[in-house]
Structure 1
Amino acid sequence: MNHIHNAQKGILDRLMQCLLREKLIPYKEEEGAINIELSKDSSIRIGVKRKFYLNRIEISDVSYILSSGTTRIETPEQLIHLLQLYGLFPESEEAAVFSRELQNSTENYQLSLKEFSKRQKSWLPYMEQYDNPISWIHQLAVENETFSPLAFFEQLAIHGHTLHPCTKTKMGMSLEEAAVYSPECGGMPEIVYAAVHKSRTAASLLKGTEIKTLLFQQNDALEEAFRNELDSQSLDPEEYELLPLHPWQAEHVIPELYYGELQDRLVVLIEGIKEPAFALASLRTLLPAAQGRKNPYHLKTAIRVQATSAVRTVSPASASHGPKFTQLFQELANRPDFPETLILVKEEGGIHFKDQGSSDEREKNLAAMIRENPEVYTDSANGELAIPGVALISDSPFGNGSLLTEAVRLYKNSKDSGSLEVAAEDWIRDYSRLLFQSVLPVMTRYGIALEAHLQNSIPVLKHGAPVKLIVRDYGGIKLYNKRLQKTGLEFVFQMETHVEALNAEALQDTVSHAIIQNHLGELIITLVKELNIKEEKFWEIASEEMDLVWNSLYDDPDAPADRQAMMERELSLKSLVGMRLKHTIDNTYTKVPNPFAAVKEGGSKRAELQN
C-alpha cells in the first residue's frame, strides 16, 4: 500500500509543479502555501514545505477546500477532474490522452518502487561487508572483468525524470511486460536478431561497410546462427544485413508492420539465438550480458512504446547522422582546444529499414544504433566507475538516502574532509567544474550543444570524486554550422532534422536546460533535501566555476553572448505538460528564474526572482 501512495504522490507532485511552473493555471502565493482559486467559495491549497531555485518546490499536501469542509487530493486524476470541473484544464482529446498517460505513469511507478524494494532486500547481506555501495560495486568490478558497474547503476533509475509527470509512462506495454523489460525492475530482455535484405536497408557506419560485421564481434554464436538460418531457407547471407530487435518489438510490431516482407523473406527472424541483455536506463538500449562491460557495444533498438512524451523508435535521421557526428567529434577531439575531460561516445553504426513507399513509420520501427560501450573509458583497477547521472539521484542500494549522498560520503573519506557538509560543497565544486569545462567550450567554439542531461551524461567517479564526463546520444543535440565554420569545418545534414540549429539561441536553450536545470539543479536539490544545506551556497560555488570557464574562453567572439545567455534573469525550461497538451515534439519553453543571476545579484534578490 505504501508503494501505491508514494507513486501517486510522486506523479501528483510532478504534475502540480509543471502546471504552476508552466503557468498553465492561475495561482497566488501565500505564506507556506500556494492557492488556486476555483470559485468564490472553493479553492485548491498546495502546502509548500520549502522552495528551491528554478521554481521548484517541495509539496507537503494538496487539498480541495470548500465552505463545507476540506478533502485531500491524492491522485493526478482527482486533480485534473477538479480543474476541468471549474474550467481550468482543457477537456480536449489531447487532455484525455494525457490523463491516461498519467494513470499509466502512476501504475508503472508503483511497479518500479515495489520491484526495487524486493531487489534492495537481496542486497542487504552486502551492507554487513561494505559501508558504501559504491565500494561494493567497485570490488565486484575488480573481481570480475565482465561485471558491468554501469549496467548495475543504470538499473537504479527508479524515479526517472524528476520534472515530468509521465516519468514512468510505458504506453503500449503491459505491467507484466514492464516488469520483465524495465531497467528499474532489473530487466533482462533477450535480444532478437533479424536478417534484412540489403535492398531494404540503409546503413551509416563509422568504419567498414556492414552492420553485421560489428554485431558478430559480440558473440561467436551470432554469425553461425545468422548463416545457418539463411542457408536453411536457401537464401544468400551476403545479400542480408543484420539488425538487433527489442523482444517486445519482435513480438508486437514486426509481425504486423512487416508482414509482407516476412512472407517474401526480405525480413527473416533468426531463430537460433536469443541473447540475454541488461535493460539500460532508456528502456530500449541494451547491453548483451555475456561479455558485460567487455562487450564492445550498447545496442539502441526501436520500440513502439511511449516513454515520457515520445515513442521510442529510432529515426532514419538518427541512424544516418549518428556515425557522421562521431566522425566530426573525432576530428574536433584531436584539436588542442577540445576539453580534456570530455569523452563523446562513438556511434559506430546506424541502420534502418528502407521502405519503398517512404513510410516513416516502417523506417523507424525496424532500426537500430550500434553504440560504443562507455565503460571502455574507465579503469576499475584504478578506482574508476562509470555512473550514469540519472542513477545519482536514485535511491542507494543500501537505503542510505540517494546514491549521490553515498558518493559524497566516499568522497569525504578519500579527501579527509572535515564534515559531510564541507565534502558536499567541495564535491559540487569539482562536479560543476567538470560539467562546465566539458560542455560550454563545445557550444561556444564549435556550435555544438550537447544534450548533457542526467540520462545522457555518465560522470566517471574515482573514489567518489568526479574526474571525467562521458556524454552519449546525439538525437537531441543542436548543431549550428555558422559557428562550426569558425573551425574550417561544416556538417552536411543528410536529411531534414531538428538537430540543425538556426541560431545561437537554440544552442543556449538546449545547453541551459540540459546542464543547469535537468542536471546540476537536480543534484543540488538532492543534496539540499538530504543534508539540509543552504542551496544558495551550492549555486555560488557553481557560479564561480562557470565564471572560470567563461574567462578561459576570452578570445572567442561568441563567448560574451553565450555567457550573457547563461546569466539572464530567466532561463528557458521545456514546457513538458504544455507540449504534451499541444501534442507536439517541437520544443516550447517557459521561463524560470536563473539561479546564477540570483546569486550574482545577492541573496536578497532570491524571493523576487522566485515569484
Structure 2
Amino acid sequence: MSSSSAQDRAAFATASRLLSCLVTESLLRALYVPLPDPRSVNIGACIVLSASASAKSPDERGSYLREDIFAIIPLRQVPVFKHDSADSRGSEIGLLDPLDMSPLVLAFDDRASAMPAYAKIVHQTARWCSTLLTRLSENGWSFDDHARLTHSADPNGLWGRYAESIGLETTLRAEIADELASSVKWQTYSYEHSPPAPSLNSSSVEWEQSIVEGHPTHPMHKTRHFLPPIPSFNPGTYDLYSPRIRLAAVPRENLKVTGDFEELTKPILDAAAANAQQELVVPENFVVVPVHELQVYHIVEKFPEADVYPGEFSVPAQAQQSIRSVVLPEILPTTHLKLGVGLKLTSAVRTISPASAYLGPRFSAQVVPALTMDPALLTVAKELASVVHAHPDGEIAKHCAAIVRESPQNGSEARGERLIVCTSLVESGHAGAEPGVPSVVRVFGLDTEEKRVAWLESFTRVFFLAFLPPMLHNGVAFEAHPQNTVARFALEPPHALLGFVVRDFGGLRVHPPTLLASTGVALEVAPGHSIVADTLDDVYKRMYHTMFYNHLQQLVRVLGLHYSGRGWEVVRAQLRRVLPAGHALERVWLGEDAKTFPGKCFMRMRMVGAYRHHLYAPFPNLLHYRGAGGSVADRPE
C-alpha cells in the first residue's frame, strides 16, 4: 500500500466519523436520496445540509439552493431514518454510520480552478454524480451553471467549514482541528504498519494491541495528543504499547493512599532494583509510586518534592488498548497497573482523577460482593489499591496517581480460556489477513449467515445474563462498552463463550437508593461524582448507550446482520428472555413510544469541553430497527 493511499484512507476514516457525528447528533440535518443503478455500488446519496439550512423550520425550508448543501456522501447502504421524517425532498437520516458510506465526500466549490470530482475518479462515479445532480434538480433543488462538485474528504476542511458556519470560538476550533489532524496522522501509520492478525493462540495482550482503527464513530478515534511538557512524538518514534515503568518517591504526607498499595507494588521495586543492580533506597516517610515513563515529564514539572529515580531503576511493560493500563506478567502475575498519563486519546486525557482513585478500591470492596450477578458469567476486575497526590487542585493531582487492579487474564490459559477484549473482535485490516474480514468472522469461522446468527445469539444471551442483573436488581450499570469488556472463550473447539470480564469504574452509573435498598450498601463516593444517577432512567440511559449503540451495533454490523434487520431480531429476542415480565425497563427500551433514545454526543461534548459528564440527544432506538429502507418503526416484527 502506498503512503498516499494510506493517507487518503485515513483522512476518510476520520472524515466519515466526523460526518456521522454531525448528522446523528442533529448538529446538521441530512436527507437520503435513493439512486438505484445496477452498474453502481452506490444505491443512494446522503445530502448533508448546511447549518443555516438545518436550522430552518419545515415552513421556512422552501426551495433548497446549492449553498444549502454542506456535503454529499455516496452511500453503499441505506442509513437509519428518523421515525418522524417529514421532508418532501428525501427521508431524513437519524443515524448515519461510517459503514453506510462509500469512501468519497463531495461538496460544491465556486472557484474557477476547482476540478469536478468526477474528473479525478472512475467514470462510473462520474455517471452517478451526474445522475444525482439531475435527480436533485428535478426535485426542487436549484443549482447554477458555475457550481462544481469537488472532492472534500479532508476532515479539517469539513470541520473548518462547519465551525465557521456556527461561529465557534477560534481557540476551541483550532484545538479540535489539531486533534482531527492527529487522528489522521496516527491512522495513516496504523494502516502502513498493520498489526499482525490475532488468533485464538494469541495472548490477551496481543489482542489488546491488534487495534487498527479503534472507536467506530468517534472522530478522534486515533488521536494521540501529548500534553506538554511531554514532547509531541510522531508515529513510529515511540512505542506506546511497550513503555517502561519508572519510579518516583513522594512524601507520604503528600499522597492519599488506599489499600495495600505499597505491598502490592513491592515486586516492581524489587525488579527495578535487580535491573539497576543496586539497592533501591526509599527515604523515610516516602512512598514509591510507579510512573509511566512519559509521565515523568509531568512529575518533575508539577511535583518538585518528588524524587524520580534514575532510568536504570525501571521495568518493561506491555500496554493494553487504553495505553495507560499496563501488564507486567513476570512481575505482577495476578494484577496489573492503571497509570495516569498526560495523553489525550479520543476526547479524554488518560490521567486518574482523585475521585476515581478514591472510588475504585471502595466500590470493589463494598459494592461488588453485594451485587446480584452470576460470577460464572461476569467477573469484575476489582481495583485493590490506589494512590493519588493530595494537591488541592484535582487537575494537578490527577497527574500523580496509580491503581492496582486484578488481572483475570493471568492464568486464563491454565483454565482453558482465551480472554479477548471485545473491541478487537470487530477490527479488520490486519497484516496477513483477508482485507475487510473482521476478526470475529475470521477466527470463529463464521463463513455463512446462519453461523453468524448462531454466534450472535450465543454472544447476546451471555452478554445480557452477565450485565443486566446488577442493573435490574441493584441499579448499577457497568460501562459495558467493548474496550471495558473482555470476553472469555474456551480454547477447545467449538470455542464457546464462557462469560465476560468488566474493568474500569469511571463510566459506572449507580442509583444509590436502589443499591441501598437491594444490598444494604451505601455508595461511598466523592461529592458530585459523575457515576451517581439521580433516577433509574439515568442508569438505563447509560447502559443503553454502552450496551446497544456502542457495543452491539458495531458487532451486528460487521457480522453482516444489520441492514437485513436480522441481527436486531436476535438482540430483541435474547433481551426479552432476560427481562422480567412487566419490568419498567421493557417500557423504557422496547415500548411503542420509545422510537428514539438518548444517545451520547461525542462532538457536542467536545465542543463544550465535557467528557466525564455526558451530553445526550435523541437517536433512533436501534432496538426498534427492522431493516434497511425504513425508520426504526416502519416494519412489523
TM-score, L = length of structure 2: 0.79
Equivalent residue, structure 1, for 2:218: 164
Matching residue within 73, 78, 95 for 2:173: 95
SS in structure 2 of the partner of residue 303 of structure 1: coil
Equivalent residue, structure 2, for 1:364: 398
CA distance in 1, matches of 2:167, 2:424: 34
CA distance in 1, matches of 2:272, 2:231: 30
User: Aligned runs of 1:44-55 on 2, under 5 Å?
Assistant: 44-52=71-79, 55=95
Shift of 1:494: 3.9
User: Does 2:377 align with 1:341?
Assistant: yes
RMSD: 2.7
User: Does 2:345 align with 1:278?
Assistant: no
User: Does 2:617 align with 1:587?
Assistant: no
Equivalent residue, structure 2, for 1:578: 604
User: Aligned runs of 1:98-113 on 2, under 5 Å?
Assistant: 98-113=176-191
CA contact (8 A) 2:422 2:487 kept: yes
Equivalent residue, structure 1, for 2:281: 230
Q: Which has the higher helix share?
A: 1
Matching residue within 293, 297, 300 for 1:255: 300
Deviation per CA, 1:407-439: give whole Å up to 9, x if none: 331xx5xxxxxx621111001001101111111
Letter in 2 for 1:179: G
Equivalent residue, structure 1, for 2:334: 296
SS in structure 2 of the partner of residue 51 of structure 1: coil
Equivalent residue, structure 2, for 1:83: 162
Deviation per CA, 1:79-103: give whole Å up to 9, x if none: 1233356x25635432222111111
Q: Compared with structure 1, are the counterparts of its residues 29 and 420 closer, same or farther at alpha carbon in structure 2 (3 Å cutoff)? A: closer
CA distance in 2, matches of 1:274, 1:114: 31
Shift of 1:298: 1.6
Q: Compared with structure 1, are the counterparts of its residues 301 and 152 closer, same or farther at alpha carbon in structure 2 (3 Å cutoff)? A: same
Shift of 1:367: 0.3
Shift of 1:254: 1.4
Q: Which moved further from structure 2: 17-26 or 371-380?
A: 371-380
Shift of 1:221: 2.6
Equivalent residue, structure 1, for 2:290: 244
Equivalent residue, structure 2, for 1:11: 14
Q: Compared with structure 1, are the counterparts of its residues 277 and 325 closer, same or farther at alpha carbon in structure 2 (3 Å cutoff)? A: same
User: Aligned runs of 1:132-531 on 2, under 5 Å?
Assistant: 133-137=198-202, 149-172=203-226, 176=233, 178-179=235-236, 187-205=241-259, 210-217=260-267, 220-222=270-272, 228-230=279-281, 235-236=283-284, 239-250=285-296, 252-259=297-304, 261-262=305-306, 267-269=307-309, 271-288=311-328, 290=330, 295-332=333-370, 338=374, 340-355=376-391, 358-376=392-410, 378-380=412-414, 382=416, 384-395=417-428, 396=430, 398-400=432-434, 401-409=437-445, 420-462=448-490, 463=493, 464-487=495-518, 488-528=520-560
Shift of 1:78: 1.7
Deviation per CA, 1:125-178: give whole Å up to 9, x if none: xxxxxxxx52442xxxxxxxxxxx111000011211111001111212666465
CA contact (8 A) 2:511 2:534 kept: yes
SS in structure 1 of the partner of residue 618 of structure 2: strand
Equivalent residue, structure 2, for 1:561: 584
Q: Compared with structure 1, are the counterparts of its residues 607 and 72 closer, same or farther at alpha carbon in structure 2 (3 Å cutoff)? A: farther
CA distance in 1, matches of 2:281, 2:320: 31
CA distance in 2, matches of 1:545, 1:604: 23
CA distance in 2, matches of 1:468, 1:52: 32
Q: Compared with structure 1, are the counterparts of its residues 377 and 318 closer, same or farther at alpha carbon in structure 2 (3 Å cutoff)? A: farther
Equivalent residue, structure 2, for 1:127: none
Equivalent residue, structure 2, for 1:542: 571
Q: Compared with structure 1, are the counterparts of its residues 84 and 212 closer, same or farther at alpha carbon in structure 2 (3 Å cutoff)? A: closer
Shift of 1:300: 0.7
CA distance in 1, matches of 2:482, 2:79: 19
CA distance in 2, matches of 1:606, 1:104: 35
CA contact (8 A) 1:166 1:308 kept: yes
Q: Using the aligned pairs only, state the percent identity.
A: 23
CA contact (8 A) 1:45 1:62 kept: yes
TM-score, L = length of structure 1: 0.82
CA contact (8 A) 1:182 1:283 kept: no
Q: Which moved further from structure 2: 49-58 or 540-549?
A: 49-58
Letter in 1 for 2:193: E
Letter in 2 for 1:274: S
Letter in 1 for 2:433: G
Equivalent residue, structure 1, for 2:45: 33
CA distance in 1, matches of 2:628, 2:18: 31
CA contact (8 A) 1:211 1:241 kept: no
Letter in 2 for 1:565: V
Shift of 1:214: 0.2
Equivalent residue, structure 2, for 1:59: 101
SS in structure 2 of the partner of residue 64 of structure 1: strand
Shift of 1:598: 3.2
User: Please, which runs of 5 or more residues in structure 1 have no aligned partner?
Assistant: 124-132, 138-148, 413-418
CA contact (8 A) 1:408 1:423 kept: no
SS in structure 1 of the partner of residue 258 of structure 2: strand
CA contact (8 A) 2:563 2:628 kept: no
Letter in 1 for 2:46: I
Q: Compared with structure 1, are the counterparts of its residues 361 and 36 closer, same or farther at alpha carbon in structure 2 (3 Å cutoff)? A: closer
Letter in 2 for 1:374: P
Shift of 1:272: 4.3
Aligned residue pairs, count: 541
